[in-house]
Amino acid sequence: MTEIEWWDYDDAAEMAAAVAGDVQFIIESAIDARGAAVIALAGGKTPVPIYEKLSAAKLDWKRVTIVPTDERVVPLGDPLSNVTMIAKTFLPKGARVMPIVSNAAADYKAAGRSADALMQDLHWPLDLCLLGVGGDGHTASIFPGPDYDEAIAGPKERRALGVMPDPLPPEAPVPRVTLSREGIITARALIIACSGAAKRKVIEQAIEQGPSSKYPIGRLLADVELPVDIHWSAE
């Protein structure tokens, strides 16, 4: 049974302050324990105010490694690139922000394999995985399509893979590289940040449906042993 706690806020700024505070604490604890922190951060638009708030925290940023939870297979610097968005905020602070898709990848499958190799070189498990959720119930870049089963239930050692969403999501209609379910749920802390009544409804339904959920977020959360915090803002 997954242990889920909801945290509700009136608006994005209130949620940003709370989530940034939690992430700061997770990073500090990892630095205290191990001298370094490795975290995965969601792409998309919702977390932008969280990242702005977090980047103002007094942290030893050079000890912090950040990877995106997932990436669109586009060149670095492209407006759709998640790591480009994350790097804008955290590179100036001195954090190590690591792209997971190289411009040299021949196709999305090859991009996924090289992202997996890169993940194997990071300190594991991740100290934190911060996820977003799409209105269609996807999380990270775990989408229905030919790679769905592998993303949800592939070999345990596979931490990242290439994914071709079917249908392609209109907000970024390109193939993806994503952390696998296993890569996500083995993190030491799992936080979801989302907003709006529609997404809340999707997540609530997904949790209720459990392992047979029609939504990726439901499949991801079913039977997760780690406690999950879902931060939700009304707007």
Q: Residues interacting with ligand 6PG, by CB under 6 A? A: 42-46, 69-70, 72, 82, 132-134, 138-141, 172
Where are any strands of DSSP class E within the chain? 4-9, 37-41, 64-68, 70-72, 96-97, 128-131, 160-163, 176-179, 190-195, 228-233
Element (H, E) at 137: none
Minimum CB separation of residue 208 from ligand 6PG in Å reads: 21
Minimum CB separation of residue 172 from ligand 6PG in Å reads: 6
Minimum CB separation of residue 157 from ligand 6PG in Å reads: 23
- Comparing CB distances to ligand 6PG, the nearer of 31 and 126 is 126
- Comparing CB distances to ligand 6PG, the nearer of 1 and 43 is 43
Minimum CB separation of residue 38 from ligand 6PG in Å reads: 18
Task: Assess whether the previous peptide bond of 125 is cis (omega < 30° from 0).
Answer: yes
- Comparing CB distances to ligand 6PG, the nearer of 65 and 216 is 216
Amino acid identity for residue 1 in this structure: M
- Comparing CB distances to ligand 6PG, the nearer of 36 and 152 is 152
- Comparing CB distances to ligand 6PG, the nearer of 17 and 36 is 17
- Parallel, antiparallel, or unpaired for β 176-179 and 160-163? antiparallel
Q: What number of other Cβ atoms are within 10 A of residue 200's Cβ? A: 18
How far, in Å, CA of 202 to CA of 217, rounded?
Answer: 9
Q: CA dist 94 to 5, 58, 118, Å?
A: 32, 12, 20
Minimum CB separation of residue 102 from ligand 6PG in Å reads: 17
Minimum CB separation of residue 60 from ligand 6PG in Å reads: 26
For ligand 6PG, which residue has the nearest CB? Answer: 132
How far, in Å, CA of 100 to CA of 116, rounded?
Answer: 9
- Comparing CB distances to ligand 6PG, the nearer of 160 and 172 is 172
How far, in Å, CA of 71 to CA of 69, rounded?
Answer: 7
